[in-house]
Every structure is written in C-alpha cells, then in structure tokens.
Structure 1
Amino acid sequence: MSTPENPTAVEIGVDTFGDVSSLESGIVLTPAQTLRAIVDEAVLADRVGLDFFGIGEHHRADYAVSSPEMVLSAIGAKTDNIHLTSAVTVLSSDDPVRVYERFSALQGLTSGRAEIIVGRGSYIESFPLFGYSLDQYEELFDDRLDLFSRLITGEPVTWQGTTRAPLENQLVHPAPESPLPAWVAVGGTPQSVVRAARYGMPVILAIVGGQPARFAQFADLHRRALAEFGHAPQPLGVHSPGYIAETDEQARDEFFPYFAEAMEKFSKGRGGTGYSRAQFDRDATRGALMVGSPETVAPRIADTLTTLGASRFSLKYSSGHMPHEQSLRSIELYGTEVAPRVRELLGQRAGATGTTGEGGE
C-alpha cells in the first residue's frame, strides 16, 4: 500500500473500553469514579490535539460504560475540537432506529463532532440481557446493519427485515445538522469486510494480535469489494492496544500487568490458557501492541498506516485496572510527541516516493 497523499489529514486518536480503573495508590475506582476519570482523559486528549476519542459499550462488572453516547455527551460539554465516537456500539442487541436517534442528538449537542462505530462487540452478555437469542447472532447483525445503513442517509426509510417491525417511508428524528459519520468495526474475517463494503461503509480493523501486515489482505479486499458493489472509495482505520512512556522498558513494565489481566480474562472465558510476558514482548516488538517510547511507537504506527493504506489510527490506551494517572501520562505523550512524529514520517515518505493515498477520502 501507499503513504497517504496528505499526511496531515490522517486521523490519530484514542479509544477505551471503559475498564474499571484504579489509582496509583492502589485504590480501585468505582464504576462512577471511572466514568468521571474517562471524561478527564478525554478532556486531556482534546487539549493535546488528538483527533477523536472513542468509548466502547459493555454490560459487565469489569467495565463502567454501558451507554457510550451518554459519556460522550458529557465529554462534548467539556471539549472543543475532538470528535467523539463509540468503539463500538453493539448493533446486534440494540434497535437501529434508537441508535441513530441517540447519535443524531449527540451530533447536534456537539456541533457535528459525533461519529459512530457499529459492530458485534467482543462479548455476548448484551444478548440475554436484552432478550435476544444467540441462535440469531448472525441474523441480528445482518438485519440491523442493513437498516442502519439506510438510516444514516437521512432520507425517509422503507425497510423490511426479520428481527424488528418494518418501516414505511419513515423519517427518523431528530435530523442531524450534518451527516453522521459511521464505520463498521471488523475483527478480520472476509465476510465482515465484504458486508461493510456492500453498504459502502468504511471499516475499522481491530488488530489486537499478530503482525499488522497480515491484515493487508482485508484492507485490499475492502477496496476491491467497494468497487465491485459500485461504491466510492472509503476510509480505512486501525484499532490496536498500546501504551506510551518515556522509555520502552518503562512502557512495557507499566503496561504488561494490566494488559495481561485483561487478556487472561478474555482468553480464559473462551477456553484459552492466559497471556505470558514472552508473548507480550513479542507482540510489543513486532506485533499489534504499540507499546514503548514515542521514538519507538511513532514509526510503528506510521508503518501500519502505510502498509494497510489506512488513514486513521486509534490507540486503545486503557486495559484492566490500569491507574488513571498512567492513562493520563500515556495520552499526553501520544498527543504531544507520537502523533506529530507519525505525521512527519508519513510526510517524509510521501515526499520521497511521490505516492498517493488510497486509504481515505
């Protein structure tokens, strides 16, 4: 792939799943305290010039955010420039009309800074919670993405599916003042990529393990599928975990316990065996983890964007009970040192090769 034509247009931001966090003193925060800490982290992200801040949706004791748009609304009242997005909204177990209404309202409250990333999420607790059968796992997402893709046009919708009532020439309110940017998060299966392309939607590739280069096939598939379906080129984004500190050693030592905590919980819930320091060090050296000093992480992000032809990078900055103070320091280094260096590197590569961008609009 090629370096983006205009590196300054590359979007660099952060996201969080809303893990219940702690303080460096060892005190574990309550979910309410975690919500307020997330708002403070987003305010800092805005102050250091990051492009967007994302929040995931979960319905579990280890995560504080069940309604991303509520927290994003609080953030919007305290920030000026940063764009605000879900990361992700679990569309399968929600009603697309209500999702669109809520984010349309957020778009109005924040003067056009709202975005939405829809997906199926990493966990399945929302299905029984809201009365949906896991037997309909695929059907629910297919059906609701089809409806949601029509809602975001802002035009009257006539639609009939299998998982909710049909609509007949229905306008949905409130109408946003500007179009609502919407992405589909995919975990790296061809079917998910093609599904998003069928609706002409941009994708976020969730790269949490292995080498980012192995996702180039999915980036290429998305571009080809968009063309085959007759859609215009769409942006491509990347989401990966990471953590920034003054040195590589400090970053790895500080981040590993909390990342391992989250990975072991996720892995064991699916029959896995946990997550070792050796595996972490491999992932932080050559894999998906963007962990290290600004001098180490910036070139790796630039390489990922270049390899995939992507125009957006989202760093998942929190993990497990990682202290709020560490999150703040990481966000500050990411915004003040990593992001400018990524753009500088991309600019140098574009100038040296004369390539043009394929990943964004």
Structure 2
Amino acid sequence: MPFEIGVMTFGELTEDPVTGSLPSPRQRVRETIEQAQVADQAGLDVFGVGEHHRTDFVGSAPAILLAAAAEKTERIKLTSSVTVLSSEDPVRVWEQFATIDLLSAGRAEIIAGRGSYTESFPLFGYDLKDYADLFREKLDLLLQIRDRNPLTWSGRFRAPLAEADIAPRADGGTIPIWVGVGGSAASAISTGQLGLPMALALLLGPLTFHEQTVQLYRAAAAKSGHDAYALPISINAHGFVGRTSQGARDTMYPYFARGMMDNNHQRGVGLRLPRAAFDAQSSPGAGLLAGSPQEIIDKLLTYHELYGITRAIIQMGFGGMPQKQHLEAIELLATEVAPVVRREVAQSEKSMT
C-alpha cells in the first residue's frame, strides 16, 4: 500500500518563549485551518486534529475543526489524531464523522483512543475506574454502527439501541477506524484481534520503543485470522523539518520545551526538557522527527524497516511555534521529504515481491 505522510495538531495555547505573547483561541483555530489548507496544497496525505478538554487547548471539538478544514481542502484525508472514545457517545461520534465524510467526499477517518489526558472523564460524568471497560464497549458500538444500520445493541454505559436508524451514512459506505496505542501490551493485542489499523504514539524515547508493541499486535492479528502484515500501522510523533539539522533543532527546541512545561498531561506539573536531552531525543536512534529533510527521510525509512509502518503523522509546531515557521516546515515535509520516502518505500516493497 502507498506510504502516507501527514501532520497533526492539538491546538495548544502556549506563551511564545521568544516574544512572551499568548495566541488567542480565535487565532489558533484559524491557524489550524490554514495548516490543513497548506498541507493539502503542498501534497501531504493526512491532516489530524486531536482532542483535549482544557483551556490551554482549542481542540475540544475536533470534528468541527475538521469539518471547517473539509471546506478548505480538496484531497487530504481528515482524521482525529485522537478521539477520546471512552468519554464520547459513539453514536454522536459516528454522526459527526459521517458528516465530515460527506462534506469532504469520503476523506474522513477516526483514530479512537482511551485518552492519555483524562480531564474529559469527570467532565462528562465517567469514572476513571471504568477506563478500560468504557473503551472496549464504546469501540464495539462504534464498529457496529459503521458496519450495519439499523442497529440493535446493549451495554453497560449507555442506553440500549433497538433497531436504531443512525444517520447519516458515510459517503463511501464506511469510515476507516484506527486505534491509538501508546505502548500498552493489552491495547496492542486487542487491536490486533479486531484486525484494526494501529496508530502508535511516540512522545519521547528510543526509536525502537514500540518493537514489542508491533510484535504483539501482529501475533494477535494472525491468531485471530487476519493478514497481520496487510494491516496498516502509523507512527505519530513530534517533529519539525528545517533546511538544516541545526536550524531545525534551534527553531523547534524553545517551543517544544515550553509546550512540555506548559501543556503537559498533569496540568501545573510540567516536564523540564534541557537542550541536551532534546538533542539526544532528535538523534538517529531516538524517536523525535526533528532535523533536515534528509534526516527525516532516513528516520522514516528506519521506522518503516523496523515496524513496517505505512503512515507517519508528525505533530509539528507543538508549544505555539509561530505560524510562518510552522507552514514552512509543512511545505518542506511535503515537497522534500514525502516524495523521497514514498518512492523508496515503493521500490523496497517492489523488490520484495
């Protein structure tokens, strides 16, 4: 299958470490749509918006942002870089993304996740002790909604459905549903058993961090009767593309470090990231996709060789990077990285057949 490259954002609101300015929510949502538009025009394959429910993020309603992006783009796939399904109503999730699918002529996707940020659980009346059970039940319902209509269904956490007519239906009859996995063995196994595409999240750590995750996923898929090596796998990681290695890292570091301090999982308890640690995380053996076009090409090809990934989505601009630099990096990713990676992967796969 063709290798896909894209970008994603969670729309964080972070004070600029250089100027001290804080973007308004209005500015950030408009910048998000512009990022989608530039990514589409430049030739990237995927644009994603993630979900957080705090005032330091504008992405509490990714479906609305993606619907706006659908009207400004023509060919790029539009995905939730995570839908926190555990605290959502799968019926409403389907209705929203099917509407995006109609607006975009079949370009909508969903990456369903449990939620590494947990503020949405108390907000919508869910108990964190049900964290795993909520996701299992709601993913089951979402998949059944995708596959049949009308639907009769019952579970623990929502009212039963009796011959429910759930509309609209997707433009092409279905919507791809991926599962976001952060490294949990149980998550990888259950995703493989279901035969669903897996989106691997890698924040910091070695490039080999997900080796066991992928092995467990493929073993579970094969045991359940799926073609394990035909299932799509994505790597979703932070990064930035610059003209030179040093320039890319010098540009990314102050914003990424500020984002890790201000927008971290546990609000008010940031993660301090010294420059030396950041540079180590950007080295060839580590997970960050930060560097020159050639460095990003080399690292993506290594990811492909190591995991057999079919897609990479880079979270660029984290920590409130100015829009000008962010858009320039999207252009570089699309014009200097993506064509080479696609060609090299296609040639590699052709030589193996």
Shorter-chain TM range is over 0.9
Task: Please report how far the alpha carbon of residue 166 of structure 1 lies from its aligned counterpart in structure 2 after TM superposition.
Answer: 1.6
- Whether 2:334 is the aligned partner of 1:339: answer no
Name the residue aligned to 2:298. 299
Q: Which runs of 5+ in 2 are unaligned?
A: none
In 2, distance between residues paired with 1:116 and 1:174?
16
Task: Please report how far the alpha carbon of residue 269 of structure 1 lies from its aligned counterpart in structure 2 after TM superposition.
Answer: 4.7
- Whether 2:203 is the aligned partner of 1:205: answer no
Q: Find 1:10's aligned residue among 3, 6, 10.
A: 3
In 2, distance between residues paired with 1:106 and 1:235?
22
- Whether 2:141 is the aligned partner of 1:144: answer no
Name the residue aligned to 1:310. 309
SS in structure 2 at match of 1:88 = strand
Name the residue aligned to 1:323. 322
Whether contact under 8 Å (1:116, 1:181) holds in the other structure is yes
Name the residue aligned to 2:224. 229
Matched ranges for 1:107-256 at <5 A? 107-178=101-172, 179-233=174-228, 234-256=231-253
The alignment-based identity, stated in percent, is 41
In 2, distance between residues paired with 1:156 and 1:84?
26
Deviations 1:122-154 (A, max 9, x none): 311111111212222222112111211211214
- TM-score, scaled to structure 2: 0.93
In 2, distance between residues paired with 1:55 and 1:269?
20
- TM-score, scaled to structure 1: 0.91
Whether contact under 8 Å (2:14, 2:258) holds in the other structure is no
SS in structure 2 at match of 1:148 = helix
Whether contact under 8 Å (2:15, 2:320) holds in the other structure is yes
Task: Please report how far the alpha carbon of residue 312 of structure 1 lies from its aligned counterpart in structure 2 after TM superposition.
Answer: 0.7
Whether contact under 8 Å (1:22, 1:323) holds in the other structure is no
In 2, distance between residues paired with 1:89 and 1:64?
14
Matched ranges for 1:50-69 at <5 A? 50-69=44-63
In 2, distance between residues paired with 1:329 and 1:157?
46
Name the residue aligned to 1:35. 29
Name the residue aligned to 2:275. 277
Whether contact under 8 Å (2:25, 2:58) holds in the other structure is yes
SS in structure 1 at match of 2:239 = strand
In 1, distance between residues paired with 2:270 and 2:31?
31
Whether contact under 8 Å (2:233, 2:311) holds in the other structure is yes
In 2, distance between residues paired with 1:270 and 1:288?
25
Q: Which has the higher contact order (CA 8 A, sep 6+)?
A: 1
In 2, distance between residues paired with 1:220 and 1:263?
30
The 3 A distance-change label for structure 1 pair 12 and 273 is closer
SS in structure 1 at match of 2:74 = coil
The count of aligned residue pairs is 347
Name the Cα RMSD after superposition: 2.0
Whether contact under 8 Å (1:101, 1:172) holds in the other structure is yes
In 2, distance between residues paired with 1:71 and 1:271?
28
Whether contact under 8 Å (2:101, 2:108) holds in the other structure is yes
